[in-house]
Every structure is written in structure tokens, then in C-alpha cells.
Structure 1
Amino acid sequence: MREDQTSRRQMMAKDFVVGKHKKRLNFVDAHFFSLPTQGNVYTLTPLTDAKGFTKILVASLQRKVYCLEYSNGRPCIREVPFTYIPGGAEIISIDAVNRSVIQEDFIIGITIIKKDDATGQQSHFFNVYSDWDLNSDSALEVVSQNCLPLELDFVPYHLYHIKTKGKNGWETVWLLSGSDCCIHIYHSDDESHSYQEVDCSESFPEFTNMTDITLWMDISYSSDNKQRVSATCGEGGIVHMFCVNVESKPLVTASRTVLWDYPSASVKIFDLKTVLPIPRYLQGVHRLQEKALRREPEAPAYIVVGNTLESCIVYRDFVSCQSGYRLPESNANDVVTCCIVCDIDQDGKNEILVGTYGQTVIVYKLREEEEPSTWDIHHRITVPCPVLSLAYCDVMGDGSFQLIVMTTTGIHIFQHNPWEVASVILSRLEALTETEADFIPTGAEVKAS
């Protein structure tokens, strides 16, 4: 009986995947929000609250920060009045994170450049917004009024948050690349209610000897949090990739450096399979699966490098693989500005999305049936203006993800065809129901045990 259920489930999954390969993505350009002034590749960030709803924070170069969200199914965009952003200042980058899963504990970082009209000199600041009272739910409006400004002696670039193991366990820290060819690390001091820069050699030894201005960085931890992969790309075309053991004191175990002729705009670390959180009502079944099934060894990480004027490159197991795979036609639509990795066709495997200044987003899908595996163009999305940034998240609050495309004039929200989403949900519910039946012990099995 179980063999029949398993074979039927495998056939259903196979038919679904084959159908997806033959079918192009069916997107609806649901909404467009214009911005008074444009941003850049660093000025869009999603922010998910404790209820699971996602807001989009987007900053314009002229000191304005907007929040895009859906309220009662209706889209709205509003300006958020962040303090300590003086008139005439330019916002360079923004990043945000919610440190709590049960309440609002937003931390928002904004880097700015301020020019003195009298002397013409520039000053640079890293503003950290948070509510130190962890006993209260901090709304975005409250957090935006609590600012800790840190003056910088370098021009800021990419702002990025990541967890690291500190004295009191895992904590969230800020990484900020600068014009001084360094990656600066800032961590919070809850006692003094402040943020301080710390030496990167202890927690991030891979970033101690950078020789190029880092335009983008990405870090990914293994499922057991014992290893991490770090990658950076720079203005001079230098791409650094590291394997780091973080069981005790962080130690670089492998590294590789690749030099390109042109700057690299983006780098992403990813796995082929996408992992979704297990619903509470299925966590018991999941534990039974973990006991019954042998866990597969963790696959080597993939790294995609978005080169600006050359072809984008995908590396698989960069330590042992000497050459990467060039994404076809990735250099045919003007400069590559950004890239993300997500399961955009909802088949359980990740795709690569490359945004270009040529007003095109290219979706690449891995074709594993060939040896060696190749990445093919799966879909193209054309927008009226150059693409600056991409995100894939549930901003509508309907349980499915939307593609967020920020251009030089505004933000497009691309929604999946609702009928196709419903078909995916029904297929997955059927598979979950059969999985639950497979792993719930029968009366005879309970008596025997």
C-alpha cells in the first residue's frame, strides 16, 4: 500500500516538474509605485514583522525613505520620517532586520553622505535605528525616531546584517564595506545602548586582508551552524570566496580568488533546493521523517557572480572546481546591476534572477539531466526602465511570494497567476496528506513497538 502511495506521489511530482519546464512563468504586473527620485542598488530591503507580513523599505537618494505594504488587501506606500537625516543628505544604503519572532524588534541601518554647503566637505554617517525597550512592541514609526548616529571616516557602500557567535550566543551584527577597502563590523552593546565597531579578525577572519572596495557581500551558514561560506566582489573585479569553520574560534579552511576585467556588482551563495519552514501541525510528522529517512550529506554551495560587463558566472564547489559556468546572454542587456536566487517557478528548486540596466530581468534554470549541468534561460521580464534591485517575498500577505523589481522610476510588483498558485497549493497539500499517512503509525505498529 505504501509503495503504491510513494510511486503515485513521485509520478505526480515528476509530471508537475516536467509541466513547469515546458511552461513559461505567468506573471501579472499587479502594481507600480513611482518614486519622486531614484535610489540605487543598495536602497531596497524587505522587513518581515512577527506576524509574518513583509514590508518593503525603499530609500531615494534625496533623503526620503518609503514603506510599501498591503493593508486589508490594498497596497499603500507612505513616507517614514527617519530622524537624523538632514536636508541635502544622500542615502547610500539601507538594511533592516526583525530580531524577534514573537514581537516587533526592528533594527534598521541607513548610511548617508552629508555635504557642508560652506566648506564643500563631505561627512559620512551610519545611522542605527532601534528601540532598546525590548518589553514593548516597536512599530516602525517608533523605531524611526530612535537613532544612534555613528560618524564614519570612509565612504560607505554595501550594508549587510548577519548572525555570528558572540560571548552570549548568536547575535546579529552589521557589516559595512567602505572606500578604504575594508569591511567594518558593528555589534550592539545592550548595557550602554550603543553600537561599536569591533575588530573583524576574531569573528570574520576572512575579511582581514581585503585589497579592493567591496561592492557586495554574502554569507551563508550550514544547517548545523558549524560552517559558513563567505563571498565578496569588488570594484576592481576581484571576487573572494571562503570556507570558514565556526565550531569554536572562526578559522578559514579554504579560499579562492578570481580576478575579472570589470567590476562585479553582486554575489550570491545558494543551494539548489529551497527549504520552507515546517508548519506547526506537521512538525510531529517531520520528526518521524527525520528518524525514518537517512539524511543526505549537505551539498556544496553554489555561488553566482554578477559581473557588470562580462558574463555572469556560477561556481559549484569553488574549492575543487577550477572553472565556473557562464550564464548565456547575461552580458547582452547592458550592465548587470543585481541578482537574487529563489524558487520562482515553485518546483522546489532555486533559479537565478539577473537584473540589468537594459530594462530586463533574466531567469535562469538549472538543467540537471545533462552532464555537465547547464543553466538555461527560463524566462525574461521586461520593464520600462533600468533595473536597480530585486527581491522575492510575500508583500501582499496572501501566503505566496511576489517579485519586487525596483527601477530608476519606481517599484513594480509582479504577482504569480492566482490559478497556478492554487494548483501548486493543492498538489502540495495532497503530497503532505499522503506523507502524513505514511508516517503515522498504525495500531499494529504501535502495539509491536
Structure 2
Amino acid sequence: MCPPHSTTTPHRMSREPYPFVEDSFSRFPSQSNMYGLCQAGEQELLAATLKGKVVCFRYQELQQKVALWPKRCSLPTSQDSGDKATPFLNIYCDYEPGSEFNLESIAQSCLNLELQFTPFQLYHTEVQCDDGAKETVFLLSGHDQKIHLYKENASLHQFEEQPVERLFPELEQLPSNVLWLDMLSLDQGRRLSAFGCQSGCVGLALVNQTGPEILQSWRVQFDSPISTVLLFPLSCKNAPSKITPGEEMCGYNLLVTSTIEMAVIYRDVQEHGLAHSMCLAESDQWDAVLSALVIDLDFDGQKEVLLGTYGQELLCYKYQAAVSGGDGQFQLQWRRSFKSPLLSIIYLDLTGDGMKELAVLTLKGLHVLQHSLTCTAALVLERLSQRVSDQTKAEVAEEEEDTAEEAALQTSSN
């Protein structure tokens, strides 16, 4: 069921064409899970499998053709201890100053931290140090109903676990095991923190990082485990947006997906907390939603919401402003079927050509989807034409202004 204050008005899916073509598919020796994909460097992906193998994906030029190249890495994810594998947090570091990201080099230096709990999501974020500099820390949720904080001891060049309440008081008392965590840094030294629990509880907090101090906090209860929470602005920075003025979703919003219910977006959480929500209609029709991503896919300055489901569907929603009065809605723009459940989604420039690809991790392997060149070329020509038109208008206006100034000077001299 949807939380209070939500809207579930049915709508029809638009006829917008599917904007991607599949470039490649790489099959895994064993399945992965919803935490098994991450970006490594600027143009590489790491995918972990349940048998402990980590695969690195990057594009290389092979026989005058650029192709995705999978390579197994020597990055152990667990170690044997008697009859069962012991969970470890393995942190790979390269301390050479000024050195470029090199996976082979990093793999040679590994810090093994034995865990006394089953790990779930590993999240990293920046915190402000006493000297004003920023430092990256790791947050690892586990089945012990805690989030564990790992911070670097610079003098020893190693990471150590520290009490989470020292830097993240909002994560100290949790109602259940946290399955997903997201944070967003704001101005004036503040941050937004959101977490989703196995019990269905969603927590949100506005925190002043100096102290630190919880300024406000909110919670809402769902009827099923929370699979994803994502904080996002609807509009992209420094990009034109086609949202009607006055109808835009202001501030930062929170996307919540669960294993049974419809996905929900809470609007302007800084101002309204978890009071104003809207459901993504039909998002519960293809089994559990396991992954989500909020990105600008059509380059119009307004972000779309992507949902990956266990029912093998990729769903794309776009915000549509209200025509006359009322609130706008997120409408289903298109959907694409895969041959196995979707576990994770990442959007990055794998080929290094300036155009990002969509990496979709499924139960069977990794799909890499590229933007349709036909649609992209048409958009580039449209943008170039508009830029030329704007430049021409600006030059004409400048000439007219110069002419008017010359006429005014002649009149005054006469």
C-alpha cells in the first residue's frame, strides 16, 4: 500500500521510443546480487559474484574494434575458516602520491578486517575533518542491526572501526537491519541521510555535520522490506529544464522502493520531510524492485527515474507537470524486458567518448546499453541549430544597439 498523502491516479504509458541499443552481454560464472556492481575509476566496472570472484570490465581496442573486455581480478571477498567462509571487509589502497588509478597495483595492497556479522551494503561518503579538509569513510550495514563506521588512521595507513555516533548520530539507534543507505551533502555544512530497513521502516534526517547534531528527523513505515532509498534533485545543474515554472519539484526528493509495494517519491524533503509523497503507478506489477537510478537520460535537464525489477523489467518514469492546477505526476515512459532479474544499474562513460552507457547487472551477467545514435545525432543537430539561432539573434541585437548608440551620439553632437 502507498503511504498517506500519496496519489495513485492511473495513467497510460507514453509512446516514447526506447532510447538504447544493447552493445554487449557478458555472462558470469556464478550469480551476483543487488550489492554486486560498482564503478572503478572513470571507465571501469567491478562486478562481484557469489563464489568470491570479482570481474573488472573495461573497453579495449581489439582488432580495430572497441569491445568490452572482462578480466578476473585477484580480489578475494571471503576467506575460509574451518567449515565455513568467514566474512571480511577487504580495503584495497594505493598510497603512491600522484599515481593514477591502477587496479593491478591496488590489488597488491589489501587490508583484511574480519567481520562478526553478515555484511549488506557498503557505502562511502565524505566527512569534514577538524582542519577543514574532507576525508572518505566507509559505512557498512550488517545483520546485527547496526551500521559500522570505518575510518583511516593516517599515521598507520590503515582503516579502523570507530563508533558510528561520533560522526553519524542519526545512524546510532536503528529499528532493524539496514538494507540500503544514501546521503547527500548540502550547503552550510549540513547533510541529508536516508536509510531503508528490512522491517519496512524508512528513516530520514537533516544533520549539521559540525558537532555533529541532528536538526530534524522523520520516519515512515512500509509493509515490506526496503530495497532502495535515493536522494536526488529533479533538475540537473547548469542544464536547461523543460519543467513549467512553478510546477517543478523543488529542493531534494527521496525515492523509496520496496519488495512488494509501489515505489514512492517524497517531494522536497528539506521543507516537508516525509509528508508529501507520490506513488509510481504500475511499479509493483513486475515483482520486487531491486535497483533504482535517477539520471537525465534524454538530455533535457530533467532527471528520469529508472527501476530494475526481479520480474525482469527495466522501467523508466518521467515527471509531468500538471496541465491546470493540482500536482504533477511521474509517468511511465517506457519499459524493456530482460531474460533474467535485474539486480543493479549504473550510468557511466565506459567507452570514453563523452556519451555515457547504461550498465545493467542481472542474475546471469552484465548488459551494456548505449544511447541510440539516431536519436542522439538528431538531438545534437537540434541543439547546434538552436545555438546558432541564439548566437545570430544576439549578434543582431548587438548591432542594433551599436547603431542606436551611434545615432544618439550624432544627434547630441549636432
Same fold, judged at TM 0.5 (above)? yes
Q: 1:121: how far off?
A: 5.2
Partner of 1:155: 118
Counterpart of 1:26, as a letter, is P
Q: Which of 348, 351, 363 is the matching residue for 1:393?
A: 348
Matched, 1:342 2:286: no
Identity %: 31
Q: Which of 239, 243, 252 is the matching residue for 1:301?
A: 252
Q: Matched residues in 1 for 2:41 and 2:85: separation? A: 34
Partner of 1:326: 279
CA offsets 1:102-130 (integer angstroms, 9 cap, x no match): xxxxxxxxxx4x4534xx35532100001
Q: Matched residues in 2 for 1:123 and 1:384: separation? A: 33
Partner of 1:213: 177
The 5-angstrom pairing of residues 217-366 of structure 1 reads 217-222=181-186, 224=187, 226-246=189-209, 248-275=210-237, 299-318=250-269, 320=272, 322-366=275-319
Q: Which of 12, 15, 18 is the matching residue for 1:25?
A: 18
Q: Matched residues in 1 for 2:387 and 2:297: separation? A: 21
Partner of 1:80: 73
Task: Pick closer, same or farther for the CA change 1:35–1:276 going to 2, 3 Å.
Answer: farther
Q: Matched residues in 1 for 2:388 and 2:205: separation? A: 41
Task: Pick closer, same or farther for the CA change 1:115–1:236 going to 2, 3 Å.
Answer: farther
CA offsets 1:58-95 (integer angstroms, 9 cap, x no match): 0111111111111232221111122xx2xxxxx4xxxx
Q: 1:435: how far off?
A: 7.2
Q: Matched residues in 2 for 1:22 and 1:409: separation? A: 30
Matched, 1:172 2:136: yes
Q: TM-score, normalised by structure 1?
A: 0.77
Q: 1:315: how far off?
A: 0.4
Partner of 1:281: none
8 Å Cα contact 1:28/1:415 also seen in 2: yes
Counterpart of 2:81, as a letter, is D
Counterpart of 2:16, as a letter, is K
Aligned Cα RMSD in Å? 2.6
Is the partner of 1:201 in helix, strand or coil? helix
Q: TM-score, normalised by structure 2?
A: 0.83
Q: 1:261: how far off?
A: 1.4
Larger radius of gyration: 2
Counterpart of 1:116, as a letter, is S
When structure 1 is superposed on structure 2, of 226-235 and 416-425 the one drifting more is 416-425
Is the partner of 1:188 in helix, strand or coil? strand
Q: Matched residues in 1 for 2:296 and 2:16: separation? A: 15
When structure 1 is superposed on structure 2, of 67-76 and 316-325 the one drifting more is 316-325
Is the partner of 1:23 in helix, strand or coil? coil
Task: Pick closer, same or farther for the CA change 1:306–1:137 going to 2, 3 Å.
Answer: same
In the alignment, structure 2 segments of 5+ residues that lack a partner are 1-13, 240-247, 406-414
8 Å Cα contact 1:34/1:410 also seen in 2: yes
In the alignment, structure 1 segments of 5+ residues that lack a partner are 1-20, 86-90, 92-111, 278-296
Partner of 1:181: 145
Q: Matched residues in 2 for 1:428 and 1:144: separation? A: 44
Is the partner of 1:206 in helix, strand or coil? helix
Counterpart of 2:232, as a letter, is F
8 Å Cα contact 2:308/2:342 also seen in 1: yes
- Size of the aligned set, in residue pairs, is 370
